[in-house]
Amino acid sequence: MTVLDTGDAGVAAVAPTGRTRGGGGLGRYLVIRFLLIIPTVFILVTLVFLLMRTTGDPITAAQGGRLPPEQLAERIHAAGYDRPLLVQYGDYLGGLLRGDFGTTLSDNRPVTEVLVTYGTATLELAVYALIVAFVVGIPLGMVAAYLRDRFGDALLRVFAILCYATPVFFAGLLLKLVFAIKLGVLPVSGRASTGTELNLQLLEGKTGIYLIDAIRLGDPAAVVDVLQHAVLPAVALGLLTAGIFLRLVRTNVIGTLGTEYVDAARSRGVSEYRLVRKHAYRPALIPIITVIGLQIALLLGGAVLTETTFEWKGLGFQLAQYLTARDFVAVQGIVALLAVIVAVTNFVVDVLAALIDPRVRY
């Protein structure tokens, strides 16, 4: 740095000779996080490809014992699965870069068609589950912080543990038993009743997201029917994340209540309820944003069991069907798409977290 004479006795100005430390920190951070998507997806796709090959080629795994050896060998050769593994891997990566995920072995459909057809159902369920997680987890976390170390706080902490420790399929079966079979107030399975599904399939330019399509249909009964079918799957999957949000909000609100600015507000006579609601609430939400990316991965993993339990025909349901049929081409395509979704979601969350909290820019 350079010291400049300002003309005043004893006063000097320091002129920086370079950029201050941390300049461009946000841009550099976002570029690094974006570039990390590439190796993340590459590693996941490679692992899936290699794991699928541990049992042999996909055609033998799917059709072995059902076809004569001559026909089986002919199909293996036609599909190119008798070539060296590295050649197959190179073709697979090249197909992914072109957007070609291959063709399913069990029903001879392009995997991209499967992803488009059933991906919207999983997206819809994940959004419903996140809404449940936010509505249940955040308010109850604030209540638990307000009731810290009291009986209500203990009950809420036990509730949180039960939420994220209970297997999602078991929670789904319990919800079906109580609300669908015993009480009969909600549907047992599916995304909509048969009549509603037929009307939605006939809708021109349908999105595949039943709630949006039902609203476009202009039939209030169809909207209600779609929402009723979504309640149990959304609650079963959403409670899994709600328990994590509850404990996270509670911990961070309690930590914020011990900061100096909150103590200053308390000394001015601000009530504890107002401190929790007005002063400690927003800072406690920052960690929620930073873990949403991880929760998306958890939701997508839980969607496989949730969709199978409630026969919600999304990617998770189809993944279970293709695993049963040993259709490894379809499994590879679905898992590759889920890997991309998780990686991109984590990047978006990192962007939001960096914009909200400068401390994450490193």
| Residue 270 identity (one-letter amino acid) | V
**Residue appearing with tokens 């399913």:** 104
CB 337 within 8 A of CB 123: no
Torsion of CA 286, 289, 291, 293, to 10 degrees: -160
pLDDT in the model for residue 299: 79
Q: Is the pTM of this model over 0.85?
A: no
Query: 315: which residues sit within 8 A by CB, 6+ positions away?
Result: 115, 118, 119, 121, 122, 303, 307, 334, 337, 338
Mean of the per-residue pLDDT values for the chain?
Answer: 81
Angle at 301 (CA atoms; ends 159, 312), nearest 5 degrees: 90
Q: Which two tokens stand for residue 131?
A: 């809404």
Cα–Cα distance between 61 and 75 in angstroms, integer?
12
pLDDT digits (tens, 9 = 90+) for 284-331: 667 777 777 677 777 777 788 899 899 999 888 888 888 887 788 888
pLDDT of residue 15: 46
Instruction: Choose the most confident range, by mean pLDDT, from 89-103, 255-269, 289-303.
Output: 89-103
What does the CA dihedral 68, 69, 75, 80 come to, rounded to 10 degrees? 170
Which of 10-14, 50-54, 118-122, 222-226 shows the lowest mean pLDDT across its residues?
Answer: 10-14
Q: pLDDT (tens digit, 9 = 90+) per residue, 54-87?
A: 767 777 766 656 777 777 788 777 777 778 888 8
H helix or E strand, kind and range, residue 187: none
d(CA 334, CA 312): 16
- Tell me: pLDDT of 220 over 70: yes
CA pair distance 162, 171, nearest whole angstrom: 10
Specify the residue for token string 């004893």: 10
What would the mean pLDDT of 128-137 be, rounded to a whole number? 92
Over range 19-34, report the average pLDDT.
67
65: CB partners within 8 A, 6+ apart: none
User: Of 327 and 174, which is predicted with more confidence?
Assistant: 174
The domain 111-356 is classified under which CATH number: 2.40.37.10, 1.10.10.10, 1.10.3720.10, 3.10.290.10?
A: 1.10.3720.10
CA dihedral of 26, 27, 33, 35, whole degrees rounded to 10: -170
